[in-house]
Amino acid sequence: MTAESPTPRPDGRLQSDPLLHDHPLAWRIALVLWMLSALLFLALAIPVTEEVVQSFDDVVYRWAVAAEWDPAVAVAKVLDFVGSVWVTWPLMVAVAAWLAWRRRWEAFATWVSAMVISQALIGPVKDVYERVRPPLPLVETTSWSFPSGHAVAGAAIALAAVIVLVRAGPKRRNLEMLAAAFVVVMALSRVYLRAHWLTDAAAGAALGAAIAIFSAAIIHRIDDRRRGISQS
């Protein structure tokens, strides 16, 4: 992704704030993530493959129990708080308010779309699958297990934040890699705390990332068409 020169407004703010210069690549990445999450969702919906998936999750669960280490548990519990509604919801509102104040409407639409879609999907999907959580969790858990709400929200927030707050270019690419690493660590922390099965975390991370990238790509395409119409 490369930077695109914005059009200055009379008040000095940016009239056009393109988020994705190479948006066809974003579409492809989002499609791959959608497919990955869809495969995991489908695997848990079919009884035969569900047994295979659960057998794999059981192996990882036993590893998490055997690898319990107090300092690592403490770090994972910090991530548990970071991914809670006490942090994520104020952050969502703060970023939306800042983008609106700066009149960065394309970024604002991307952020709000990604946050609303990701949050709206978590509860209903959990209710559809009704997957029981792993036994003996190290943190308090509520609702069903699949997908991991922390992983969905963490991925959507981390990637969308980089997209809407950082101009396209080398700096953003580095931060995108850092955001992706955060998503992986957040997802694995849910497994380590025995709050989720590995496939819960993987599906949640893939879904949240796909929503963030897809939101940016579709808003960018809509804005491209709007600018094309206004200039014609």
Helix (H, G, I), strand (E, B) or coil at 141: coil
The answer to whether residues 150 and 202 touch, using CB atoms and an 8 Å cutoff, is no
Residue spans per domain, the chain? 23-227
Percentage of residues in the chain having pLDDT higher than 90 = 52
Q: What is the mean pLDDT of residues 9-30?
A: 51
Q: Is 136 left (phi over 0), alpha (psi -120 to 50) or beta?
A: left
Joined tokens for residue 127? 């209710």
- The predicted-structure confidence for 175-223, as pLDDT tens digits, reads as follows 888 998 999 999 999 999 999 999 999 999 989 988 998 888 888 778 7
Joined tokens for residue 229? 């119409």
Could you give the dihedral angle defined by the CA atoms of residues 25, 31, 37 and 38, in that order, rounded to the nearest 10 degrees? -170
Looking at the predicted structure, is the pLDDT value of residue 19 above 60? Answer: no
Looking at the predicted structure, is the pLDDT value of residue 139 above 50? Answer: yes
- Write down the pLDDT at residue 43: 77
The answer to whether residues 194 and 136 touch, using CB atoms and an 8 Å cutoff, is yes
- The predicted-structure confidence for 32-47, as pLDDT tens digits, reads as follows 776 777 777 777 777 6
User: Comparing 65 with 166, which gets the higher pLDDT?
Assistant: 65
Average pLDDT, the chain: 83
Q: What is the mean pLDDT of residues 136-143?
A: 90
Q: Structure pTM?
A: 0.82
Could you give the dihedral angle defined by the CA atoms of residues 195, 197, 202 and 203, in that order, rounded to the nearest 10 degrees? -100
